[in-house]
């Protein structure tokens, strides 16, 4: 049972993640942001085991639950979290995994093409490009392609939607693409940092 804290209006995030949660065989609970007290009660009542949203929102939920007398690690059933929309700082990952025993994973998503461009595997060594029909490039300030391991502006070509492909879309993010292999076995390039 997974709470989806992305909104279901004005942005496709809510419905995209709702469908992904359902496709994984889990029950999606549409919550959106806000209404933290109702979210906390829903998480308790439904024994929610997964969280989809931003890392700072989950931390706010945990703090609010603890302020109201709950011991989050013992009273709640959250075991997994999947973040996007903002970066998960290493210190917050350490808090979730070490203090609360919540497995963390994050995705690099771009709203316009409609979903996750790259995602972390359990190794947390970077983001795996999510499909062979997605091409990531980085370009330097002079417009030239950056070499693997060199920082540059991220350019996304996403051919998953043949009716409306995104060709060399730049959203303003800066990143580093690597051609190194991950020990998980995936062979597509890694987006090492954003």
pLDDT at 99: 96
Tens digits of residue pLDDT in 142-192: 989 999 999 999 999 988 878 888 899 888 899 999 988 888 888 888 898
Separation between Cα atoms, residue 165 and residue 159, nearest integer Å: 5
Q: Is this structure's pTM higher than 0.85?
A: yes
Buried b / exposed e over 175-184, threshold 16 CB at 10 Å, is bbbbeeebee
Token readout for 132 is: 């062979």
What 3-state class would DSSP assign to 22?
helix
Separation between Cα atoms, residue 76 and residue 48, nearest integer Å: 8
Tens digits of residue pLDDT in 76-134: 999 999 998 888 999 999 999 999 999 999 998 877 776 778 899 888 888 998 888 88
Count the neighbouring beta carbons within 10 Å of the beta carbon of residue 169: 15
Separation between Cα atoms, residue 167 and residue 88, nearest integer Å: 28
Classify strands 127-129 and 134-139 as parallel, antiparallel or unpaired: unpaired
Residue 36 has pLDDT above 70, yes or no: yes
Separation between Cα atoms, residue 71 and residue 40, nearest integer Å: 12
Does residue 53 contact residue 5 with C-beta atoms inside 8 Å? yes
Separation between Cα atoms, residue 184 and residue 46, nearest integer Å: 33
Separation between Cα atoms, residue 129 and residue 127, nearest integer Å: 6
Residue 9 has pLDDT above 90, yes or no: no
Separation between Cα atoms, residue 126 and residue 124, nearest integer Å: 6
Contacts of 36 (CB under 8 A, 6+ apart): 60, 61, 64
């Amino acid at each position: 049972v997974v709470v989806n804290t992305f909104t279901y209006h004005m942005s496709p995030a809510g419905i995209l993640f709702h469908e992904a949660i359902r496709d994984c065989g889990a029950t999606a609970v549409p919550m959106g942001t806000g209404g933290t007290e109702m979210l906390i009660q829903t998480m308790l009542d439904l024994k929610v085991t997964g969280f989809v949203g931003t890392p700072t929102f989950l931390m706010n939920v945990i703090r609010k639950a603890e302020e109201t007398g709950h011991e989050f690690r013992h009273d709640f059933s959250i075991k997994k979290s999947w973040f996007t929309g903002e970066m998960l700082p290493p210190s917050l990952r350490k808090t979730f995994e070490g203090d609360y025993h919540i497995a963390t994973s994050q995705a690099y998503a771009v709203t316009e093409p409609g979903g996750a461009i790259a995602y972390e595997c359990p190794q947390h060594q970077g983001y795996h490009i999510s499909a062979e029909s997605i091409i990531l490039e980085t370009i330097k300030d002079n417009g030239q392609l950056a070499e693997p391991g060199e920082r540059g502006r991220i350019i996304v070509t996403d051919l998953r939607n043949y009716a409306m492909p995104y060709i060399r879309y730049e959203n303003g993010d800066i990143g580093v693409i690597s051609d190194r292999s991950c020990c998980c076995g995936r062979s597509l390039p890694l987006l090492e940092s954003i």
